[in-house]
Chain A
Amino acid sequence: MAETRVKQEPFGPGPTQEPFGPEHEPPTEWMELNMGPQHPSTHGVLRVRLKLDGEVVRDADADIGYLHTGFEKSFEDKTYTQGITFSDRMDYLAPPINNVGFVMSVEKLIEVDVPPRAQAIRVMMMELARIASHELWLGTAGLDLGVYSGFFYAWRDRELVLDLNEMYSGVRMMTSFTRVGGVAWDLPDGWLEQLQRFIDVMPARIDDFESMLTENPIWRQRLEGVGVLSREDAIEVGVTGPMLRASGVDYDVRKAFPYCGYEQYAFDVPLGSNGDCYDRYRVRVQEMRESLKILQQVVGSLPSGPWLPNNRKVALPPRSELSKSMESVIHHFRLVSEGFKGPAGDVYAFVESPRGELGFYLVSDATNKPYRMKVRPPSFCNLQPLKKLVQGVLLADVIAIMGSMDFILGDVDR
């Protein structure tokens, strides 16, 4: 059989194990394999170009942009309230968290206080979104590695959260439930009871899932020691969220810079020690349990009161007032047609999404629309070290590593 020499072409400069170029002929042939953008395991439309030396990966280049939607350009064209609907679609596994982050940046800019009830509602929706997102992650990352039935268990639980979303906002996924200064609606009757039933039922289901996977020798073999990111490396490459915490860095936005009243609730931040895929799995499962703890505390201590601030320049007046007061009608009209203006300046607000620190850098030029809204996406930062993490691993481990990163292309590409 005649051997054909494969032309060695570099991807581009970057840290690789051996130098490229015609003068450095490697001893074996490296095959370029294209993964994606249509691929069951890339969690969206990601294209990874791999250089394979047999079954071992020598280099990888992540080609993103297949879901680039131009969110940042769209934000510049919409008022602050219109932008909330857009913000859902970025990290579409946990839309309530995007909503909160977006309005937090506006609230920081215009300095408006959020009433306590609205903060508690935001916390509840965010923690529900965190549970739903981690369940989805468990289902799909497991599916990649062969846990076919886990997908159905995870989805059964996720449907409970989507039911709660739908009861509150009318929509299963894209809730758009925040408004600048508060939340759009009050909780409907029966929502808290349904949430309590959810909190009661979930711990057993998480335990079920754990019993299937945590001590499973196949699961452990696939994940332990794979994709190790040391503590220093994790900070150096800028990963965030469970990836950072699995490497032992104790940084969770909810604890370090509490927002929306998180300082009132007692919860732990799970940390890993080895920084491998198995630790990331353990961190995420534990985070689900901590979210349930937070939810229970919020339900027990839910304050009463308004869910929008009394500031008519920023928040819509209650509908009952519209029939009585001409001023309310004028405020309503202005807010809906034109929105409100903020001062000129730039702020950075950030929240803890299930993937890590989701930040919104807002630059305002004192008009009713953002001048520049830059989103700091956690998945973008988590996907960056892919090149470094997959060097020298087997092809099957690439799937495990990508699964453990828990990135979502809507966030990466925006």
Chain B
Amino acid sequence: MSASANDLLVERLGNRFKQALKESSDFRGDLSIVLEPSSVVDVARYLKEEEGFDYFLYATAVDWPARDPRFTVVWEVRSLANKTRVRIKTTAAMPEPHAPSLTAVWPAADWHERETWDLLGITFDGHPDPRRILMPQTWEGHPLRKDYVSFGEPVIFSDQKLEGLEPDAIRG
């Protein structure tokens, strides 16, 4: 994406959503926009319907323990027709970080947001199915956080009680 096209998009966004756009950057040709959490869904809808960003790429979050707010939640989408990309970022603070879910705008965000909840603990408000996806349902903790120690976890066997949640292993 050429630099001027990125700048024009930022300009249009700035005109349309005045307070929402906190900052934007164009690092190595990748356009990122940082938004207020409350305006993310509106901007997303605008990007999809009027700017043509129809293809969802991924959603994730980055944990910066030294910063406050701690998490930066990232979604990236692409416009297949215009061959452009934009990275939408917002922040989420401890305790109980949460961000709006974009599954209403891009249904493909479903599993990506579930994974972000599972591995980083960001609750997505309005997500239709907020379950863990990669770790077992009874897992405690969010492995990709920087304060999560990564070694030596015990294995849960089928004869141990799994209270209230769907069993992961098939029980005979």
Interface code A295-328, partner B: CB below 8 Å = 1, 0 otherwise?
Answer: 0000000000000000000000000000000000
- A345 / chain B contacts, CB cutoff of 8 Å: 27-28
Given known A-B contacts A256-B83, A348-B87, A13 and B30 have beta carbons under 8 A apart: no
A381 to B110, CA, bound (A): 10
Number of interface residues, chain A, beta carbon within 8 A: 40
Most chain B CB within 10 A, of A346, A357, A381, is at A346
Q: Are A348 and B150 in contact, CB atoms less than 8 angstroms apart? A: no
Q: Are A238 and B129 in contact, CB atoms less than 8 angstroms apart? A: no
- A77 / chain B contacts, CB cutoff of 8 Å: 150
- B170 / chain A contacts, CB cutoff of 8 Å: 34
Asked if A293 is an interface residue, CB under 8 A from chain B, the answer is no
Given known A-B contacts A13-B128, A109-B28, A238-B55, A64 and B134 have beta carbons under 8 A apart: yes
Nearest CB on B from A162, distance (A): 30
Please, which residue of chain B has its CB at the minimum distance from the CB of A111? Answer: B28
**Among B11-19, B37-45, B57-65, the stretch in contact with A:** B57-65
Please, which residue of chain B has its CB at the minimum distance from the CB of A67? Answer: B134
Asked if A257 is an interface residue, CB under 8 A from chain B, the answer is yes
Q: Are B108 and A236 in contact, CB atoms less than 8 angstroms apart? A: yes
A68 to B106, CA, bound (A): 25
A374 to B87, CA, bound (A): 14
A238 to B109, CA, bound (A): 8
A347 to B135, CA, bound (A): 27
Asked if B152 is an interface residue, CB under 8 A from chain A, the answer is no
Asked if A102 is an interface residue, CB under 8 A from chain B, the answer is no
Please, which residue of chain B has its CB at the minimum distance from the CB of A36? Answer: B170
A70 to B110, CA, bound (A): 20
- B74 / chain A contacts, CB cutoff of 8 Å: 346, 361, 374
Q: Are B80 and A249 in contact, CB atoms less than 8 angstroms apart? A: yes
* Range of interface residues on B (Cβ < 8 Å): 35 or more
Asked if B144 is an interface residue, CB under 8 A from chain A, the answer is yes
- B111 / chain A contacts, CB cutoff of 8 Å: 380-381, 384
Interface code A1-20, partner B: CB below 8 Å = 1, 0 otherwise?
Answer: 00000000000111000000
Number of A-B contacts (CB under 8 A): 91
Asked if B143 is an interface residue, CB under 8 A from chain A, the answer is yes
A384 to B56, CA, bound (A): 12
A238 to B59, CA, bound (A): 12
Asked if A65 is an interface residue, CB under 8 A from chain B, the answer is yes
Nearest CB on A from B69, distance (A): 16
Nearest CB on A from B138, distance (A): 12
Q: Are B28 and A347 in contact, CB atoms less than 8 angstroms apart? A: yes
A64 to B114, CA, bound (A): 12
- B28 / chain A contacts, CB cutoff of 8 Å: 108-109, 111, 345, 347
Nearest CB on B from A275, distance (A): 16
Nearest CB on B from A370, distance (A): 11
- B54 / chain A contacts, CB cutoff of 8 Å: 235-236
Asked if B36 is an interface residue, CB under 8 A from chain A, the answer is no
Interface code B77-91, partner A: CB below 8 Å = 1, 0 otherwise?
Answer: 000100101010000
A235 to B107, CA, bound (A): 10
Contacting A73 at CB < 8 Å: which of B32, B83, B132, B143? B143
Please, which residue of chain A has its CB at the minimum distance from the CB of B110? Answer: A384
> Which A residues are within 8 Å of any B CB, using their own CB?
12-14, 34, 63-65, 68, 70, 72-73, 77, 108-109, 111, 235-238, 249, 251, 256-257, 345-348, 357, 359, 361, 363, 371-372, 374, 376, 380-381, 384, 413-414
Please give 11 more A-B residue pairs, beta carbons under 8 A apart, in addition to A108-B28, A238-B107, A361-B74.
A70-B143, A70-B150, A72-B119, A235-B54, A238-B106, A238-B108, A238-B109, A347-B28, A347-B30, A374-B58, A376-B57
